[in-house]
Structure 1
Amino acid sequence: MKLYLIRHGESVGNLEGKIQGSMDFPLSDLGKKQVDLISAYCKEIKLDYIYSSDLSRAHETAKKIGAATNLEVETWDKIREVYLGPLQGLTRDEIKEKYPITIKKSIITSGITGTESEKELTERCRVVLEQLKQAYSNESVALVSHGGFISILLMYIMAGDNWPSFHRPFVIGNTSVTLIEWPNGEEQPYLHYTNRTAHLDSLEAEQHAKKGIL
């Protein structure tokens, strides 16, 4: 199985600097441009199936990719963003002020009351991978999801249940693509690349030109 992990385009929440968690925010104007570019990029990838988080910023992204690749999009709540309870809708500075534990500890694994637990996240990752491997051993599948969940899923793939014990080093940019493969149904995966955003180069050049940099 080839597994493509694609983050949604920039959302209004991203633009406003808010920690979104499972709050629902639409794509920003820049996010819509990013989605057009990732959709064109995905035409060059041989995808067999597309699954999307049920949050609109991911689902809007997935629907555009589906239209470009002539594939139906299946909504899957198991790949939605981490639920962050009382932290949702706040900026990082506001969170650090209200919850000092987050100054030295990741928001996702802070253990703050009302947030999704490490155990719950581990179970979500386990279910997602087990179901995908059982159903699509020789196919290419795209999951259109979120930065937090994608980074945790990568950690789970590498470290299993012990993932919370390790530093999460992954940068997952808006509409970035990460590719993992289990060739011929093998148990051990291969990580081809993470956070690929070459499809955004033309957009970044356009933005710099507007600012007078080029």
Structure 2
Amino acid sequence: MNIYLVRHGITDWNKEYRWQGEEDEELNAEGINQAETVQKRFAGDNIKSIYSSTLKRAIKTAEIINRNHNLEINKLSNLDECKVGPFSGLHIDEVKNKYKKEFKEWSGDPWSNIEGMESLGDVQSRSVKAVKNIISKHEKDDKIIVVAHGLVIRTIISWVLKLPITSNSNFRIDNCSVSEVLYENNKFRLKSLNETWHLIHFNMAIYETAEERDLQ
């Protein structure tokens, strides 16, 4: 089974280095163009199903990818981005200045207990649960697209690679990147990480966003 983990297209908040979390921001024009490059990438593939988080930026990305496949988009709240509470909407510099202690605790302790914030452990638990639920519905040769968010995808990949959740910031998941996970013989393996060649092929810029910055 081929599971393609796609991060949603870029938003204005992404470009402004603002933390989005569960805020329901729309794709901007550039994000729509990014999603169209992913659509072209998968145009010739026999995709069995498309899954998405319930947030608008992920749903829109999934809808664009789906233009060639005409599938029902399955929306799962367990794929939604992390609830970041007091960080939400803030520029990375504001997080550094106002919440340095809280960020250090949250990013360093998988089971941190900060009011209004979801721990990394909780994000990973529900994200992995979503992936397991998805594979239970499919055959071994199916190709599946899952459109989600930067932190969600990084925690899933950390689980696949058996890495500590807190190491998730050691790799990037860019907007509209594709990371491929294979599920064979009851085992998960990472086949590719943060593929962006489709963006480069169509002369799209690749940005480092707030979630991809090392704030520690």
For 2:178 and 2:124, how far apart are their aligned partners in 1? 22
- The 8 Å contact of residues 155 and 168 in structure 1, kept in 2 or not, is answered as no
TM-score, length-normalised on structure 1? 0.85
For 1:94, the aligned partner's letter is E
Aligned equivalent of 1:118, options 117, 120, 136: 120
**How much does 1:72 deviate?**
1.8
User: How big is each residue's C-alpha offset from its partner over 1:5-56, in whole Å with a ceiling of 9 and x where there is no partner?
Assistant: 0011111211222100010111111111111111111113321000011111
Give distance in 2, aligned partners of 1:107 and 1:121.
Answer: 14
Q: Secondary structure at the match of 1:149?
A: helix
- Contact 1:125–1:156, Cα closer than 8 Å, also in 2: no
CA–CA separation in structure 1 for the residues paired with 2:183 and 2:205: 37
Q: Does 1:158 align with 2:164?
A: no
TM-score (norm 2): 0.84
Say if 1:82 and 1:108, in contact at 8 Å, map to a contact too: no
2:170 partner SS: coil
Residue aligning to 1:13: 13
| SS of residue matched to 1:136 | coil
Residue identity opposite 2:156 in structure 1: L
CA offsets, 1:61-107, max 9 Å, x none? Answer: 00011112222211111101111111110011101111112368638
Question: How far, CA to CA, are the matches of 1:205 and 1:51 in structure 2?
Answer: 24
Aligned length: 203
Identity of aligned residues (%): 29
Which position in structure 1 is the counterpart of 2:82? 82
* Aligned-residue offset at 1:134: 1.6
Structure 1 partner of 2:213: none
RMSD: 2.4
SS at structure 1 position matched to 2:203: helix
Unaligned runs of 5+ in 1: 208-214
Map of 1:169 onto structure 2: 170
Gaps of 5+ in 2: 207-216
Deviation at residue 193 of structure 1 after TM alignment: 0.5
Q: Conserved in 2, the CA contact under 8 Å of 1:84 and 1:108?
A: no
Q: Indicate if the aligned counterparts of 1:50 and 1:142 stay in contact, CA closer than 8 A.
A: yes
CA distance in 1, matches of 2:60, 2:108: 26
Aligned positions of 1:64-213 closer than 5 A: 64-101=64-101, 102=103, 106=107, 111-138=113-140, 139-159=142-162, 163-164=164-165, 166=167, 168-183=169-184, 186-204=185-203
Q: Greater share of helix residues, 1 or 2? A: 1
The Cα shift of 1:197 comes to 1.0
